Amino acid sequence: MEHAADSTHPRYNSLLKRKMIEDAAKIGMLADSALIAHGRGEAFDYLIGERTIESAMDATKEAAARLCAAERPVISLNGNVMALAAKPLLRCAAVIGADVEVNIFYRTPERMKVLMEYLKDAHVEIADQTPPEFDAEVWQKMVVEVRLLGNSPDGRIPGLEGPRANCHSDGILASDVILVPLEDGDRCEALVEMGKDVIVVDLNPLSRSAKMAKVTVVDELCRFAENLYVSCLNPASPNDNWDNPKILQTALEEIIAGAVESA
């Protein structure tokens, strides 16, 4: 990837993610407000020390446990998520046995076309990149079994107005456990209202989505996706006594401590 900074730059990872977002914007994958959303995430990541805090790792393991134990697990992908982590999340879907569904807030036919094409290409690439844990033939089968949904929605998320409610009746609508990274508050609430086990990734522990979700991972999406893959290789059992408010409180305390330390 052509890039303004080399890998020795102290902010290399952050610059690399900006570049991924910029490139995705150029090809029409993103909502107009995507860069604002990314900037907000960056600010929180800066305060959290650009690292995976212990409570986020615990939440990631719980997410893996629930997704792997689910009957109809689905990973929902929006523009920002596709730009940053389409391939790692496809790898996770293959291990979990989940479907992926492109489901965007600012839905236009033009964006959906670009996103679905991008997803198909990523799917083909992932099938050819066998991780060391798997035999190539087994891996290819696992990847091929991941359905790529989003193109022909025939259902709607109840309680939401407009095209953002559109989804697949055999995908998001039928899911029991759903991973919605970087979700907006309304849709998160609507999915919870439907009785789904909603897992959110959001660096802002104060966001409505973070507060609404059953499991919230307060971590940067790319780090989360890598950790989720590893956790899904050897998942624990879901914890029925999961204390999500405590996870949010711990993240907030880490952010405040980080800000005080660096002041």
Contact call for residue 37 and ligand PTJ (CB under 6 A): yes
Contact call for residue 38 and ligand PTJ (CB under 6 A): yes
Query: Measured from the CB of residue 73, what is the shortest distance to ligand PTJ in angstroms?
Result: 20
Q: Which is nearer to ligand PTJ, 97 or 258 (CB)?
A: 258
Contact call for residue 205 and ligand PTJ (CB under 6 A): no
Q: Which is nearer to ligand PTJ, 127 or 181 (CB)?
A: 181
Q: Which is nearer to ligand PTJ, 93 or 201 (CB)?
A: 201
Query: Measured from the CB of residue 182, what is the shortest distance to ligand PTJ in angstroms?
Result: 4
Give bridge partners of residue 177 from the DSSP assignment: 73, 197
Q: Which of 202, 220, 222 is nearest to 46 (CA)?
A: 220
Q: Which is nearer to ligand PTJ, 127 or 218 (CB)?
A: 218
Q: Which amino acid is at 115?
A: L
Q: Which is nearer to ligand PTJ, 38 or 214 (CB)?
A: 38
Q: Which of 21, 134, 231 is nearest to 126 (CA)?
A: 134
- Taking CB under 6 A as the binding criterion, the range among 32-40, 90-98, 244-252, 254-262 that sits at the site for ligand PTJ is 32-40
Residue list 69-128, contact with ligand PTJ (CB under 6 A):
78-80, 84, 104-106
- Taking CB under 6 A as the binding criterion, the range among 149-157, 166-174, 202-210, 227-235 that sits at the site for ligand PTJ is 202-210
- CA angle 178-252-67, nearest 5°? 15
Whole-angstrom distance between the N-terminal and C-terminal Cα of the chain? 35
Q: Which is nearer to ligand PTJ, 64 or 217 (CB)?
A: 217
Contact call for residue 34 and ligand PTJ (CB under 6 A): yes
Options 203, 228, 232, 247; binder of ligand PTJ; rule CB under 6 A: 203
Residue nearest to ligand PTJ (CB): 41
Q: Which of 210, 224, 191, 187 is nearest to 64 (CA)?
A: 224
Q: Which is nearer to ligand PTJ, 44 or 139 (CB)?
A: 44
Cα 176 to Cα 193: distance, rounded to the nearest angstrom: 12
Residues within the interface to ligand PTJ (CB under 6 A) = 31, 33-34, 37-38, 40-41, 44, 78-80, 84, 104-106, 182, 184, 201-204, 207, 220-221
